[in-house]
Amino acid sequence: MSNDQKIVEDILKLKKERKAIILAHNYQSPEVQDIADFSGDSLGLSQEAAKTEAEIIIFCGVHFMAETAAILCPDKTVLMPDLNAGCPMANMITLRQLMELKKKHPQALVVTYVNSKAEIKAESDYCCTSSNAIKIVQSIPADKEVIFIPDKYLGSYVASQTKRELILWEGYCPTHRRILPEDILKRKALYPKAEVIVHPECIPEVIAMADKVLSTTGICKYAKESNSEEFIIGTEIGILHKLRKENPEKRFYPASELADCPNMKLNNLEKILWSLQDLVYKVEVPEEIARRAKRSIDRMLEIV
Ligand code: 13P
Ligand code: SF4
């Protein structure tokens, strides 16, 4: 038996004994996705966390996702195999910066992308994800000013789709920023029949070249339903594993091999095993912050 097989066996055995569940984001490494009980996008994972009967959740994603799960299920133990797995975009706005922005626009409502810290969500009116950001902004009366943080690219995409002027912040995803229009052109030249599907965290010039702009779960769903046989995928490359596994008869090409999120890839099988063995690393959100952050998440869920 190989070392990896042994680790997998140990994880499965311990997971049962501990009454734990493993959740993995669509960008995790193939072996992590394969051992997970559920893989999905940031919203799907939190919802799965909220409905599970398991007492322990091993969250394989980045910190803001585990925090969201902890906010939605305060009675469960949420563990991250590696606490260093943060999201650079979520770190691009501080509480002080948000308070200053709110002071500058006292009448504005704050819509915050889920890729943000709990303390930022706690100061927001609505949370949103890449799959529902347009709907959330559309639900706000047209005469209301809206601050959209922290992703300027998702924000400008939402502004273009809703025809609303949004007050944006200078945040962005460094991984999606690596996908360039010339990458799409190169792939299109090689695979002219392929549909181009991109994540809304991409830069506007890339979004303008896409046939579809979808969240990670949206991409997986669309790939299954579409009659196309080939796809150019403009998002983090971890998703290719799931796409290929679920659609063996179709072909998927990354828009850019450079779109590899180093934070997502900090999790691995060994760390999952240690996490289960030692019950580390616990993700907790102070009660007061969790209560206020949950309000913005609940408002989002009511709308979608
Ligand atoms: P999804 O919500 O589409 O899974 O995206 C999360 C993310 O981190 C994208 O970079
Ligand atoms: Fe954050 Fe980008 Fe990584 Fe997603 S892909 S976790 S937004 S850095």
Compute the distance between CA of residue 107 and CA of residue 109 in angstroms, rounded to an integer.
7
Where in the chain do CATH 3.40.50.10800 domains reside? 3-86+264-284, 90-173+289-303, 179-254
pLDDT at position 4, please?
Answer: 86
Which overall architecture, per CATH, does domain 179-254 show?
3-Layer(aba) Sandwich (3.40)
40-82 residue pLDDT tens: 998 899 889 889 999 999 999 999 999 999 999 999 999 999 9
* 156: nearest Cα among 202, 95, 215, 87: 202
Mean pLDDT of all residues belonging to the chain: 97
Percent of the chain topping pLDDT 90: 96
Structure tokens at 75: 């009675």
Q: Is the CB of 115 under 6 A from ligand 2?
A: yes
In contact, 170 and 92? CB cutoff 8 Å: yes
Indicate the top mutation candidate among 264, 265, 267 to test ligand 2's pocket, ranked by most ligand atoms within 8 A of CB.
Answer: 264
Compute the distance between CA of residue 117 and CA of residue 106 in angstroms, rounded to an integer.
22
3 state SS of 33: helix
**Residue 18, Cα to own-chain centre: how many angstroms?**
27
Question: Span 87-106, mean pLDDT?
Answer: 98
Q: Which residue has the tokens 């009967």?
A: 53
- Strands of 38-183 (E only): list them: 38-40, 56-60, 77-79, 109-113, 126-128, 146-149, 166-168
- Cα 63 to averaged position of ligand 2 atoms, centre (Å): 10
Question: Span 283-301, mean pLDDT?
Answer: 97
CA-nearest residue for atom 2, ligand 2, is: 173
Q: Which residue has the tokens 């994800």?
A: 129
Residue 27 has pLDDT above 90, yes or no: yes
pLDDT at position 136, please?
Answer: 98
Q: Is the CB of 151 under 6 A from ligand 1?
A: no
Angle CA 223–249–255, to nearest 5: 50
pLDDT at position 269, please?
Answer: 98
Residue 99 has pLDDT above 90, yes or no: yes
Q: Report the amino acid identity of residue 155.
A: G
pLDDT at position 6, please?
Answer: 95
3 state SS of 142: coil
In contact, 87 and 263? CB cutoff 8 Å: yes
Q: Which atom of ligand 1 is nearest to the CA of 43?
A: 2
pLDDT at position 3, please?
Answer: 81
Residue 297 has pLDDT above 80, yes or no: yes
Question: Span 124-144, mean pLDDT?
Answer: 97
In contact, 75 and 39? CB cutoff 8 Å: no
Q: Which ligand is nearest to the CA of 87?
A: 2
202-214 residue pLDDT tens: 999 999 999 999 9
Residue 110 has pLDDT above 90, yes or no: yes
In contact, 116 and 123? CB cutoff 8 Å: no
* CATH H superfamily, domain 3-86+264-284: NadA-like (3.40.50.10800)
First to last CA, the chain: 47
The class level of CATH for 90-173+289-303 reads alpha beta
pLDDT at position 46, please?
Answer: 82
Q: Is the CB of 39 under 6 A from ligand 2?
A: no
pLDDT at position 259, please?
Answer: 98
Question: Span 27-33, mean pLDDT?
Answer: 98
Banded model confidence at residue 115, pLDDT cuts 50, 70, 90? very high
224-259 residue pLDDT tens: 999 999 999 999 999 999 999 999 999 999 999 999
Compute the distance between CA of residue 45 and CA of residue 295 in angstroms, rounded to an integer.
18
Q: Is the CB of 215 under 6 A from ligand 1?
A: yes
Compute the distance between CA of residue 266 and CA of residue 151 in angstroms, rounded to an integer.
23
Banded model confidence at residue 15, pLDDT cuts 50, 70, 90? very high
Residue 35 has pLDDT above 80, yes or no: yes
In contact, 178 and 256? CB cutoff 8 Å: yes
Question: Span 169-187, mean pLDDT?
Answer: 98
Residue 21 has pLDDT above 80, yes or no: yes
Q: Is the CB of 89 under 6 A from ligand 2?
A: yes
In contact, 149 and 98? CB cutoff 8 Å: yes
Residue 168 has pLDDT above 80, yes or no: yes
How does DSSP assign 56-75, residue by residue?
EEEEES-HHHHHHHHHH-TT
Banded model confidence at residue 194, pLDDT cuts 50, 70, 90? very high
Pairing state of beta strands 146-149 and 212-213? unpaired
- Cα 41 to averaged position of ligand 1 atoms, centre (Å): 6
- Cα 86 to averaged position of ligand 2 atoms, centre (Å): 8
Banded model confidence at residue 2, pLDDT cuts 50, 70, 90? confident
